[in-house]
Amino acid sequence: MEALVLEKKDSLTIRDIAIDETLGAHDVRIDIHTVGVCGSDVHYYTHGAIGPFVVKDPMVLGHEASGTISEVGEAVTHLKVGDKVCMEPGIPDPNSRATQLGMYNLDPAVRFWATPPIHGILRPSVVHPTTFTFKLPENVSYAEGAMVEPLAVGMHAANKAQIKPGDVAVVMGAGPIGILTAMAAIAGGCSQVIITDVQQAKLELASTLGPIKPVNISQENLLEVVNSLTDNWGVDIVFECSGNAKAAASVFETLRPGGCVVYVGMPVQPIALSIPDAQIKEARIENIFRYAHVYPRALALMGSGKINVKRLITDVFKFKDSVEAFDYCVNMPATSVKAQIELV
């Protein structure tokens, strides 16, 4: 089938590639409609690796997807041909200890789309287990369906934070994950989120999506803003979504005593973290890696209108322009948040 193939670092082509997929009894075949371009996809393109995951052979990119079921396995009863769906891109080993403990995202054997050596889904169709395939609400479009995957990251972070109604949070980084984390935190009970970045256009967009206060850290002092809003107490939660080493090391500065830090963004290099700064506040530190058990809740929030992701989709490309789409995302302007590729 024709697919967008990462041949090697800095080399993308649209070409035919053989992918052997057999429809099992509990599987569905999905015709892909929309695929989001994730920062990890772009990083594989520009660097050829992310940490221990190295592209050694040609690999199809893409893992944020929605589509239409075109075929169902013989044991499938809750989904049917013609259903609009989105898909969790990671398939764990059902017999692994991590899966049995409910932490299937941490299964070392998980097969995750567009993570070497597993092919992604910038291609016409895919066979996928029904366990990780979810029907879209009637009022949720394919484009929105392809946003469920990054929203799931924000939802998982909000769950890890154990938000209490009325909490105030800081989100560091106003990229797609940062904004979606802010929206998930508000849906989870936060009364206000302070979001930081240096790109004013993204901050201005974020400020229109709920009780979100933007802070351009190149122009304002974050600690002063937090102190003015919390009577010098600090915020209940800090979500570090930027992956920036300096930001990741400063998370305790604005945190209240007994507050929670959730690391969402993944720094490329190790960071110098001050443990005493965490200890004197008895900070609770949480980490997330992808997500688990959140797709149904994310879809419920989108279907109810509690979370509206439409305005985050700023750029749409046709499949034939996929290489152009990736080159655009390598140097994405500040006014852009999420780019998507339509295959239909």
pLDDT at 217: 97
Q: Name the DSSP class of 6.
A: E
8 and 143 housed in the same domain: yes
Domain assignment present for 139: yes
Do 143 and 6 belong together in one domain? yes
In-domain check, residue 304 = no
- Between strands 235-240 and 49-50, the pairing is unpaired
Is the per-residue pLDDT at 140 higher than 80?
Answer: yes
Q: Express each pLDDT in 273-326 by its tens digit.
A: 999 999 999 999 999 999 999 999 999 999 999 999 999 999 999 999 999 999
Whether 243 maps to a domain, the answer reads yes
What is the pLDDT of the chain when averaged over all its residues? Answer: 97
**329 and 276 inside one domain:** no
Residue 250 and residue 316 in one domain: no
Residues 21-61 pLDDT 10s: 999 999 999 999 999 999 999 999 999 998 788 999 999 99
The residue range of the domain holding 142 is 2-147+309-342
pLDDT given at position 149: 98
Of 12, 82, 115, 84, nearest to 323 by C-alpha is 12
Q: Do 87 and 143 fall within a single domain?
A: yes
Are 59 and 94 in the same domain?
yes
Its pTM stands at 0.96
Same domain, 9 and 123: yes
In the chain, % helix, strand, coil (3-state, to 5) comes to 30, 30, 40
- What local confidence, expressed as pLDDT, does residue 147 receive? 98
The enclosing domain of 241 has a CATH number of 3.40.50.720
What pLDDT shows up at residue 167? Answer: 98
Q: Is residue 297 part of a domain?
A: no
Same domain for 131 and 160, yes or no, is: no
Please check whether residues 257 and 328 belong to one and the same domain.
Answer: no
pLDDT interval class at 64 (50, 70, 90): very high
Instruction: Determine, yes or no, domain membership for 128.
Output: yes
Question: What pLDDT is attached to residue 268?
Answer: 77
> What confidence tens digit (pLDDT) does each residue in 234-250 have?
999 999 999 999 999 99
pLDDT at 116 over 80: yes
Domain count, the chain: 2
How confident is the model at residue 267, as a pLDDT? 85
Domain identity same for 280 and 177: yes
Cβ contact 61:122 at 8 Å: yes
> Which pLDDT band holds residue 270 (cuts at 50, 70, 90)?
confident
| 33 in a structural domain | yes
CA distance 279 to 281: 5
3-state class (DSSP) for residue 13: strand
Query: Shortest CA distance to 32 belongs to which of 145, 155, 175, 118?
Result: 145
Q: Give the model's pLDDT for residue 52.
A: 83
Torsion of CA 51, 54, 55, 57, to 10 degrees: -170
Check residue 264 and give its pLDDT. Answer: 97
In whole angstroms, give the CA distance from residue 211 to residue 50: 34
Domain containing 331 — which CATH number?
3.90.180.10
For residues 136 and 168, membership in a common domain is answered with: no
CA neighbor of 64 nearest in space, from 338, 289, 344, 293: 338
Residue 302 lies in a domain: no
Instruction: Examine residue 175 and state whether it is found in any structural domain, yes or no.
Output: yes
pLDDT one-digit tens code per residue, 67-86: 999 999 999 999 999 999 99
User: For residue 206, what pLDDT is reported?
Assistant: 97
Does residue 108 share a domain with residue 179? no
Query: Of all residues in the chain, what percent carry a pLDDT higher than 90?
Result: 96
